[in-house]
A and B are shown apart, each in its own frame.
Chain A
Amino acid sequence: MSMTASSATSERERPFGFWRRSYAMLVKEFIQLRRDRVSFAMIVMIPVMQLLLFGYAINTTPRHLPTAVLMQEDSDVARSILKALENTSYFRFTQEVHDVETFDNLLKSGKVLFGVEIPRGFERGVRRGDRPALLVAADATDPVAAGAALSALGPIVQTALAHDLFIGNPPDPPFEIRAHARYNPAASSRLNIVPGLVGTILTMTMLIFTALSVTREIERGTMESLLSMPITPVEVMIGKILPYVLVGFIQATLIIGIGVLLFGVPIDGSLTLLALLSTLFITTNLAIGYTFSTIVQNQLQAMQMSMMFFLPSILLSGFMFPFAGMPVWAQYVGECLPLTHYVRIVRAIMLKGATLQNVQYDSLALLALMLVAMVIAVTRFRRTLD
């Protein structure tokens, strides 16, 4: 029966065979796509997320940047100037300090991007016409974040002051604003990008290494015999993460080495501290990737989930766009991403010579993210085939 049927079709093939077969393939692919709910969700989620983040969260001329004030004297003139600065909308005063050391530490740890120093005897100098200097120190490790505010400083403050103080009009301003771009005085974006790039590259590679690890075992059928052997979820995780810590470490060494040798990026801080915290960051990413692989069902989903994580990491971590310029909700999201903390750590250690104390908040955050990911992974890991 079946033989006669097949010989009949081969004798006179129906027309449009090419399109018929293509159509059959197309229908099959659509059915498979529809069954793969996670992939389907990603198809919608990735562009929507990208659009929303670019549209709402990213701001290349950030305003309301956190600023510290070093008050060496408390006077009406100083208050007026601070008010004027805040009115430019570029600065938001978050801290008022009274000694130079705290002031420097705030800038070094990245808690503030700007520091305004009102020197002792400022008011007297203004009144006597000595044109005293008002120091504005900027953390220029991220030139984009600092640039707009610094360039607006001169003229806007002048105009604002003209209204506030009745000291006469320019061209004869009563004091001098001395802007000082710290850490990256030439505003070289290379110095800013190389440290950030270390973290970005590590995030991408580390995530994918472990995101595929468990799904690969399931897809190749090796998971069944692995589960039938006496091994615990924690042991599986450690065995799968540790080799890549070494891989990540080599990668980090390579990127930082090239940055130093070819691009002249300095390492002002301790190399040991940098290595230590880089290892922590690598492990955190590996743990997150591993967590993904315990959630997804196949390798394609694992890749897509890694992308879902990688995209906000790049956009919201402060690597590409100024962190301080983002709306508050985006900053909260950013705080949950390991890259945010690592970008701060690397910039602080390499460009500002920061110590562990300066970066302790970000280090603890990395540690916490790693532990959370590991706990989720171990509880998600299915010990049976149920």
Chain B
Amino acid sequence: MVYATASDIAIEVSGLSKSFNGHEVVHDLSMQVKRGMIYGFLGPNGSGKTTTIRMLCGLLTPDSGEGTCLGYDIRRDADKIKRRVGYMTQRFSLYQDLSVRENLEFVARLYGLRDAPAAARTMIKRLGLNGREEQLAGELSGGWKQRLALGACTLPNPQLLLLDEPTAGVDPKARREFWNEIHSLAAEGLTVLVSTHYMDEAERCHEIAYIAYGHLLVRGTVDEVIANSALTTYTVTGGDLNGLSAELAGKPGIDMAAPFGTSLHVSGRDKAALEATIAPYRARSDLHWQHSEPSLEDVFIELMGRSRDNFQ
């Protein structure tokens, strides 16, 4: 086994487990994130993403397992980790009754920045919040709140950003701007671990990991994840797709039949069985079948279905 030098690795954990009230939320999770990466953390609701992120930054103590974050032990050196990590919570957690400027100055002072007002001013400019600095944070729209929250956690110049579903409920334009910001931060050398539900966001990550029911199922680059899925996918258009979807579901070789707009994606891991099953339907004149590359979403929906069978 080759050990990467500590300076190359931002996060290295193994065997992390965490239970709440006898219910295991994270099970034996191991992962490694290289420095300077944008690492996507995907999975359905309640899959343990938030719990894992909280264990990484010392907000939760793992029941078992160990690891390091920026070279510091996640059990013992929580204080050192906190000083170097920016954590953006899923729910807006800045002070709603403080203004934009006051929130940023609070964070700057807490981290002991030399000139807190100046640091806040610089950040306001960078976020494009000029003219809104005296507005109360609670009065900002969803998109601006996200920007402010990102600004607050990058203010103390962290080496690692942990973003927990940062773009939930934000419009597509604000989402795109947010991701441009994340890419420019990563270009400056920051490591970013971001959890998301959005496939387009997953595709903007350097590497992704998929977690379901507390188990980490796959990880790698987007291309690797798609290639490793060994999924055969057909895209069907025309005809009664709802009826077709219902008919195909559960038949041999069909792991997933999911509508995408006006088309239906039919996928399966067993190519031969899949093709045998769909053969009679391919003959129908009202349906147009096309063999296609599985999308990331196909892979994940299939994974989600499979993991539900395995762990629930």
Contacts and interface: CB of A to CB of B under 8 A. Distances in A.
B59 A228 contact: yes
Contact of B95 (A222, A227, A230, A231): A222
B285 interface: no
Given A221-B91, A225-B89, A385-B54, A230 B60 contact: no
B93 A230 contact: no
A384 B61 CA distance: 7
Nearest to B95: A222
Interface stretch (B31-39, B79-87, B225-233, B294-302): B79-87
Contacts of B85: 228
B59 A229 contact: no
A13 B92 CA distance: 41
A225 B107 CA distance: 10
A229 B107 contact: yes
A224 interface: yes
Interface of A: 220-231, 383-386
Given A229-B110, A385-B54, A224 B93 contact: yes
Contacts of B91: 221, 224
B144 interface: no
B307 interface: no
B94 interface: yes
A384 to B, nearest CB: 6
Contacts of A226: 93
B59 A230 contact: no
A385 B93 contact: no
B110 A221 contact: no
Contacts of B110: 229-231
A227 to B, nearest CB: 6
Interface of A is mostly: loop
Interface of B is mostly: loop
A225 B82 contact: no
B59 A384 contact: yes
A230 B94 contact: no
Interface in B102-147: 107, 110-111
A28 to B, nearest CB: 23
Interface in B29-51: none
6 A-B pairs with the lowest CB-CB distances in the bound complex, closest first: A225-B93, A228-B87, A230-B82, A230-B83, A221-B91, A221-B93
B92 A221 contact: yes
B58 interface: yes
A316 to B, nearest CB: 38
A228 B111 CA distance: 11
B57 interface: yes
Contact of A225 (B58, B60, B83, B94): B94
A49 to B, nearest CB: 33
A385 B60 contact: yes
B61 A386 contact: yes
26 contacts: A224-B59, A224-B89, A224-B91, A225-B89, A225-B94, A226-B93, A227-B59, A228-B57, A228-B82, A228-B85, A228-B87, A228-B89, A229-B82, A229-B107, A229-B110, A230-B79, A230-B82, A230-B83, A230-B110, A383-B78, A384-B59, A384-B61, A385-B59, A385-B60, A386-B60, A386-B61
